[in-house]
Structure 1
Amino acid sequence: MTEKIGVLVGWEHSFPKAFIERCNKVPGIHAELAKLGGTPERFESPYRVLIDRISHEVKHYRFYLKAAVLGGAFVINDPFWWSADDKFFGYSLASQLGVAIPRTVMLPQQDYIPAISKDRSLRNLEYPLNWEAIVDYVGFPAILKPADGGGWKDVTVVRTPAELLAAYNASGLNVMTLQEFIDFDDYIRCICVGQDRILPIQYNPKEIGPTGLRGRYVGREEDRWLPQDLHDRVLNDAITINKALRYDMNSVEFAVKDGVPYAIDFTNPAPDMHIEHLGERYFNIAIDWMVEFAAAAAKEGRRTRDNYAWAKLLNNDLEKVRLGAAT
């Protein structure tokens, strides 16, 4: 029996091409670009596994993937969780898990949609903000960035109260976070597959990469340029984060200062896997890991829906639901 794996992608070329070609060399597996059209309210997913690298930009795909979960597919990454998470929640969760996090404060939006009456709809909002306490906690320099953003969009380094207020006043409808700036000695981006396969790569977020985007992989030949204890901590922290978020495809970034790896950016469920960025060696490792993980998930019949109580209801297993609620 052949199990089907579908890939949802945007403009990227190298990842889907290599992934599909290598998947189709695995006995019992057929991989292809997923084709989505009109979807009835009750259907069985034609794909055993779906790999999602674009639904954050195409709303129809996100809705389809939720239905595909209902229809029995294993979706990488879980579209229900991806719809609910944000970077500030990630910081809060990681800090409680014992992962080192820069001091971070979430700020209210600076502006609101026209339907919001600021003197009636915002009665729960502290006003004015206690900027002195916020700055005392975070310190300068600091990074002002969206709580749900990515790709360095709307990110500003602020060094004074005047710079902070100017950047905040220009932030519009974004919910922003103010975060302690870590003047790092080393920086690591980990490509993560299946929660516990971690590929740490030396990275420089300050440089411009080969395609003109911010950030460049340094690409040392040796995998363990870090001291052993720091290497082990980075891997353990990345695994902890992935397991907590249930991300099977992620990138986790650490800024290292005085021997401490601070988790800076780790809610990236469609991580960079372009050969032009990673380089051939790291790209091939990431693709091979993805093929192995997706093929195993397909053959083992994994289902994302099994993480949710409503799946037990669908399976007429009401007793498990009752027992789960009791515990």
Structure 2
Amino acid sequence: MNRHLVGLLLGTEEDWPRAFETILRRTGPVRAGGGEEHAFDVERITIEPFDLRDRPRYDLVIDRLAYWYYVPREWLKKIALMDDVYLLNSPFTFQSMEKHAAYCAMMRLGLKVPDTVLVPFKNPPDNAKWAYTASRYNQPFDLEAVAERIGYPLFMKPYDGGAWVGVTRINDRDDLHAAYDASGQRLMHLQKAVDGYDVFARSLSIGPETMVMKFRPELPMHDRYEVAHGFLTPDVGEEVVTISRLVNAFFRWEFNSCENLVAGGEVHPIDYANACPDVALTSLHYYFPWAMTALVRWTMFTMVAGRTPRLDLDMAAYFAIADRDDLSYGDKLAGYRRLADDYFETERYLDFCASRLSHLDEVVLEWVDSADFDTLLVETVRATYPAAEHDRFVAHFRGLVRLWVTDTKAALQPGQPA
């Protein structure tokens, strides 16, 4: 029997790791195409000194920590370069996770990213060479003129932002100066607002699977993901999925979220570089079981199928499509989708899920419909919200999870599409 160890590199999260561990263990061994059996275990990784020639015990690592903690980031680089450990996500494209490079790449590929300008620091960085360099080479600039060229309304947002920190809507020159003054030493983008958009679509992609969700950023986090189906036309929905997969294949990200604004049938990507996408039970609620199922499926597939990590970024293949004047936007998206499906081995993955993991949906349904899952839900609520709000939020999330259970039971009935 082939045994595989999955490592979880975690920060403060507890809900989804417990869910992942439970589902992986309940799923049990699976057989590969040749008949050999594969068994899986999972453990949480600790942080400690490491010899660069030590051999890691893990076959695959799911990273949720190295985007801010450099010790595990360097360990990830070591096990990728020296030991071929499969990683979710690549530790070599973190600079792209700081938004700026991701904007540049997707603009080069022709996506409808809103007009974006990088502006210098409001306050100089703490560097002894700053004054001399600035006096010789920094050009004075008119912030208001830059904003007027982009056009109000617009957003000021950190080039390396996350979790909406430092994002400000700018309606006029007063907003502009107030936000810029408050930015301090943070490097900021000015980005044209897609005003009056029809739908905010946030998609979570895990391997070759993507769930597109209707997102309401103006609401509290527990209400931002609306349980809605059919809120995009088939063509627009397919474009959103393609953009999500394209971004991930391009940068070698396999666990990432993407935000798109849909206006007048056009899809405008505004944020698609998230090293640690939100998979909290109290955020995803109805969609949480899907996320955990997809993560288990992709984890098991990579190991059973003998998928090897690809550290190189084959950007030239994408740019060869982008630079062709004889291709329409739709043709280019189709070309990008083929490259993305090739990277993720989508056809092989779907066959694996159908032939080797057909029981997984029932495994997850049985667990989510159990007292064990309800205990996880209650403990997560108690760890997240003030005591006075526990009863309210337990009822809120129980209702949404119960809706998922009801819908899933109906879908898994004989004669119904799964």
TM-score, normalised via structure 1 length: 0.86
Deviations 1:27-84 (A, max 9, x none): 1111121233220021222101000012123221111111121222111001111255
Deviations 1:116-149 (A, max 9, x none): 4443123575431143542233211111010001
Q: Does 1:253 align with 2:259?
A: yes
Instruction: Name the residue aligned to 1:232.
Output: 238
Instruction: Name the residue aligned to 2:69.
Output: 58
| SS of residue matched to 1:122 | helix
Is the Cα–Cα contact under 8 Å of residues 199 and 262 in structure 2 kept in the other structure?
Answer: yes
Q: How far apart, in 1, do the equivalents of 2:308 and 2:46 lie?
A: 20
Q: Which moved more, 1:75-84 or 1:122-131?
A: 122-131
Is the Cα–Cα contact under 8 Å of residues 190 and 200 in structure 1 kept in the other structure?
Answer: yes
Instruction: Name the residue aligned to 1:202.
Output: 214
1:202 Cα deviation after fit: 0.4
Structure 2: gaps (5+ residues): 30-38, 315-418
Q: Within 5 Å, which residues of 2 pair with 1:101-180?
A: 101-122=113-134, 125-180=137-192
Q: How far apart, in 2, do the equivalents of 1:308 and 1:97 lie?
A: 15
Q: How far apart, in 1, do the equivalents of 2:313 and 2:76 lie?
A: 15
1:152 Cα deviation after fit: 1.2
Q: How far apart, in 2, do the equivalents of 1:155 and 1:85 lie?
A: 16
Instruction: Name the residue aligned to 1:216.
Output: 224
Amino acid at match of 2:56: S
Instruction: Name the residue aligned to 2:55.
Output: 44
Instruction: Name the residue aligned to 2:46.
Output: 35
Is the Cα–Cα contact under 8 Å of residues 75 and 304 in structure 1 kept in the other structure?
Answer: yes
Amino acid at match of 1:270: C
More strand by share: 1
Q: How far apart, in 1, do the equivalents of 2:123 and 2:4 lie?
A: 49
Q: Does 1:6 align with 2:7?
A: yes
1:160 Cα deviation after fit: 1.6
Instruction: Name the residue aligned to 1:68.
Output: 79
Of 301, 306, 314, 1:296 maps to 301
Q: Which moved more, 1:246-255 or 1:56-65?
A: 56-65
Deviations 1:154-213 (A, max 9, x none): 11111122321221122111110001112222111101011x321100010111122xxx
| Two-structure CA RMSD over aligned residues (Å) | 2.0
Instruction: Name the residue aligned to 2:17.
Output: 16
Is the Cα–Cα contact under 8 Å of residues 198 and 263 in structure 2 kept in the other structure?
Answer: yes
Shift >6 Å, 4+ stretches: none
Q: How far apart, in 2, do the equivalents of 1:142 and 1:32 lie?
A: 45
Is the Cα–Cα contact under 8 Å of residues 252 and 313 in structure 2 kept in the other structure?
Answer: no
| SS of residue matched to 1:279 | helix
Which is higher, the Rg of structure 1 or of structure 2? Answer: 2
Q: How far apart, in 2, do the equivalents of 1:163 and 1:111 lie?
A: 18
Q: How far apart, in 2, do the equivalents of 1:109 and 1:116 lie?
A: 16
Amino acid at match of 1:230: V
Q: How far apart, in 2, do the equivalents of 1:80 and 1:123 lie?
A: 34
Is the Cα–Cα contact under 8 Å of residues 156 and 189 in structure 2 kept in the other structure?
Answer: yes
Is the Cα–Cα contact under 8 Å of residues 69 and 305 in structure 1 kept in the other structure?
Answer: no
Q: How far apart, in 2, do the equivalents of 1:108 and 1:124 lie?
A: 15
| SS of residue matched to 2:184 | coil
Higher RCO by CA contacts (8 Å cutoff, separation 6 or greater): 1
Q: How far apart, in 1, do the equivalents of 2:103 and 2:3 lie?
A: 41
1:219 Cα deviation after fit: 1.3
1:104 Cα deviation after fit: 0.7
Residues 274 and 101 of structure 1, relative CA distance in 2, 3 Å threshold: same
Q: How far apart, in 2, do the equivalents of 1:124 and 1:8 lie?
A: 45
Q: Does 1:181 align with 2:193?
A: yes
Q: How far apart, in 2, do the equivalents of 1:185 and 1:57 lie?
A: 34
Residues 119 and 237 of structure 1, relative CA distance in 2, 3 Å threshold: same
| SS of residue matched to 1:95 | helix
Of 279, 290, 311, 1:273 maps to 279
Q: Which moved more, 1:295-304 or 1:31-40?
A: 295-304
Is the Cα–Cα contact under 8 Å of residues 155 and 170 in structure 2 kept in the other structure?
Answer: yes
| SS of residue matched to 1:143 | strand
Residues 123 and 44 of structure 1, relative CA distance in 2, 3 Å threshold: farther
More helix by share: 2
1:86 Cα deviation after fit: 2.1
Deviations 1:73-114 (A, max 9, x none): 111001111255421211111122122111110111122333
Residues 158 and 65 of structure 1, relative CA distance in 2, 3 Å threshold: same
Q: How far apart, in 2, do the equivalents of 1:20 and 1:125 lie?
A: 54
Deviations 1:269-312 (A, max 9, x none): 210001111113x1111111111111121233444365389xxx
